[in-house]
Structure 1
């Protein structure tokens, strides 16, 4: 076991075990294999495509090495599966370790109806027909996760936007209405980085610092002038409860003294003991004048209970204590110096219910912001949007043939046929055969070929494509 690889960055080992034997399974004289990635459908009707560039820059623009091949040879022999060492050696010798594949994709940030191809990959050297399938595990994973988080975040933004259009006088605050609290609930640092970055396609608020590193590393956001997201000082339960129950008001006063001021925003979790007492007596009486006089904004955060009932009741009590005005759309708005953020139990369903409840009670969506944790970065999987990568065409002995599956037991798993293209029509975006393109623009654009990144987007460009900015 001492000779087995411990290198997680070895691309040859970034696959499923059964993939290593597939080079022996294709028909004789196979020369090219073309595969595509699509979201086959799920809880959202649309997908925000995002994350491929991060994978290409992190993994596919670095050549494989002799050490990678030798390590894989040892590992897979011990594992009990075949290894095409000669094929990988060919790539190292002929292409200096860069992968002879061409990848096309829809521009990142594009909102695509489900059941359309968003990525297409084909080998560029007929001796490497087997490479396309070998990359499925890594490539599909690189796409489905950030795209799913971006789509979830986008769906939440649409819900909030509708509520604000109905009840608020401006959409100026929309980019800060959903904050990422999910870093600690993610399965790994890379998960938090990719998922947190995917959320930033739609919003500008995050506590996932690794998402900022990811934006700089993979999407060209490298200076303070281009900072993609922001946060504020905020309390956690321990910084309140360490003052003791009798010192709760002192803990709150300390937050105002430390972080309050003109133009400043501070968030304070306020349900460590009794949220209603905190709102009615501590914030709404003892500290009321100080809150009003800071010149900034106090954001009160509940953190338990039924979110729909708690947010509605909290707004009613805040309005009773701090007052409100009626905006031009007929909804109540708290004074500018006090707001509410709900960060517990948020998902698209609860988000809609909360907004419906507070507007039914006469309150504008302007009064509240939201935070999502595990529900944003972790409670998604490949089936959330039905992601799959499938071969759709192969060239064998000089002739292209359709490659597809059509199981009688599940029409949902029927795959596409032929070399594909993606076009925009009067009815929307549609996947067609490449042979039927007929001079129309193909939205599947070249992004990678033989180790070279052909297109590079900034997060700013990606954000603009969603149409949500």
Structure 2
């Protein structure tokens, strides 16, 4: 439906080809995070944009559709420029795009992507494609939120668990498919989370991982109840619903999750799981994951852990922290980074290892972010006019936080640290790859490579 790249832009971009200086023949722009909520970003998602949008040649039909739409819309249309791309380049975009390797953890205020023209007659194309290219803010921001959650959980596992590395990949589960604004957000946002973790209920993220990053199976899940599968039995048969879950899914070594607050969470734990159904849970050889789903998350998780400890007992690990026998908890309501920290701190204070809890995160993971969360921007930094390069930048007197970079900047490694400069020093290492050139994707990351970079930090 939206496969015409010429229309994948802002209205005012259509008139910009008439606004550049006479003699302009080349343009150079960059993308960065200008700060924001986090001091580091996990760069991710450009590859999907390049594959789906920029790698498809422009056609005569696209040009005709754009000509008609912009005429009715009241904007000029650079038909000659697009026809040049079709005639001279067979519709392929005369651009060079370089970027830091996906999965890289980069401090803010550093260049992440550069975009430059390769045909003097189509220099204007660089800025025209800003809207589609800058949408990488979404996947990068989701990957960044997920990555910072991982650092919090890692810290508590390292303090309280005997197996931090083995536990960590499944400690934050993506519950966000229903909470996003579009199918594409579900797929790409869910995939961005899988850069850091391996637990998800967002099926489209698995499809995206196969399509864009050559990963046969990027994430995993377990059988889990929802309120309708419990309440459909009726309140008087609540424990029968739980018993059915055990009969269907509780096999030796298996995990199953059951939401347990449809009526009275504490009754369900004490009289159901820890009472009437206790022996069935223990005999099954499975691990039951109890899901509280309402109330204050910190208080509810703490109290649930203490009640389950009374009913099922605990084992002390080598660090002296308690592990619940036969059962675990997952909290999926009201979860954000602050709640994760508070819940884990509360459990640790009561002597429970972080192994006992996993988290499900939905809207706060995939939807509660925008371009300003990390202040993403794409800016022109250099232009060639009459054969000479000139610096291009902005520096608003009313907001010096928006000052932009000058020159043909790029990202380098200098003594192990990232630095953005247009004049590298001897010994600086180029930290960017050419990922797209003249219509072709020329470097392809796998999800395994992306994950390894994000973990290396």
Structure 2-normalised TM-score?
0.98
CA contact (8 A) 2:266 2:304 kept: yes
Residue 342 of structure 1 aligns with which residue? 331
- 1:56 aligned to which of 45, 50, 61: 50
1:111 and 2:101 are equivalent in the alignment? no
CA contact (8 A) 1:140 1:389 kept: yes
Residue 190 of structure 2 aligns with which residue? 196
Note the C-alpha offset of 1:388: 0.4
- 2:179 aligned to which of 174, 181, 185: 185
Distance 2:97 2:13 in 1: 19
Residue 204 of structure 2 aligns with which residue? 210
Note the C-alpha offset of 1:123: 0.4
1:168 and 2:161 are equivalent in the alignment? yes
Residue 420 of structure 2 aligns with which residue? 431
Note the C-alpha offset of 1:8: 0.9
- 1:459 aligned to which of 444, 447, 455: 447
1:266 and 2:256 are equivalent in the alignment? yes
Distance 1:35 1:438 in 2: 24
Distance 2:133 2:297 in 1: 38
Note the C-alpha offset of 1:425: 2.5
Residue 3 of structure 1 aligns with which residue? none
Distance 1:425 1:155 in 2: 25
Give the SS at the match of 2:330: strand
CA contact (8 A) 2:292 2:331 kept: yes
Distance 2:42 2:300 in 1: 32
CA contact (8 A) 2:174 2:362 kept: yes
Residue 289 of structure 1 aligns with which residue? 279
1:78 and 2:72 are equivalent in the alignment? yes
1:322 and 2:312 are equivalent in the alignment? yes
Distance 2:288 2:53 in 1: 44
- 1:15 aligned to which of 5, 9, 17: 9
Distance 1:348 1:210 in 2: 24
1:251 and 2:244 are equivalent in the alignment? no
Residue 133 of structure 1 aligns with which residue? 127
Distance 1:431 1:210 in 2: 36
Note the C-alpha offset of 1:439: 5.2
CA contact (8 A) 1:342 1:371 kept: yes
Give the SS at the match of 1:467: helix
Residue 360 of structure 1 aligns with which residue? 349
Distance 1:408 1:279 in 2: 61
Note the C-alpha offset of 1:34: 0.4
Structure 2 unaligned runs (5+)? none
Aligned-pair RMSD on alpha carbons?
1.0
Distance 1:353 1:412 in 2: 33
Note the C-alpha offset of 1:359: 0.5
Distance 1:438 1:414 in 2: 27
- 2:140 aligned to which of 147, 150, 160: 147
Distance 2:455 2:161 in 1: 20
CA contact (8 A) 1:421 1:437 kept: no
CA contact (8 A) 2:414 2:427 kept: no
Note the C-alpha offset of 1:332: 1.0
Give the SS at the match of 1:173: helix
Give the SS at the match of 1:267: strand
Q: After superposition, what is the alpha-carbon deviation per residue over 1:241-260, rounded to whole angstroms, capped at 9, x for unaligned?
A: 01111100000000000011
Note the C-alpha offset of 1:427: 6.1
CA contact (8 A) 2:32 2:377 kept: yes
Give the SS at the match of 2:111: coil
Structure 1 unaligned runs (5+)? 1-6
Number of matched pairs = 456
Q: After superposition, what is the alpha-carbon deviation per residue over 1:41-76, rounded to whole angstroms, capped at 9, x for unaligned?
A: 111111000000111111111101100000000001
Give the SS at the match of 2:247: helix
1:400 and 2:389 are equivalent in the alignment? yes
Distance 2:340 2:319 in 1: 21
CA contact (8 A) 2:24 2:383 kept: yes
Give the SS at the match of 1:375: helix
1:447 and 2:435 are equivalent in the alignment? yes
CA contact (8 A) 1:256 1:291 kept: yes
Give the SS at the match of 2:6: helix
Give the SS at the match of 2:91: coil
Distance 1:438 1:30 in 2: 31
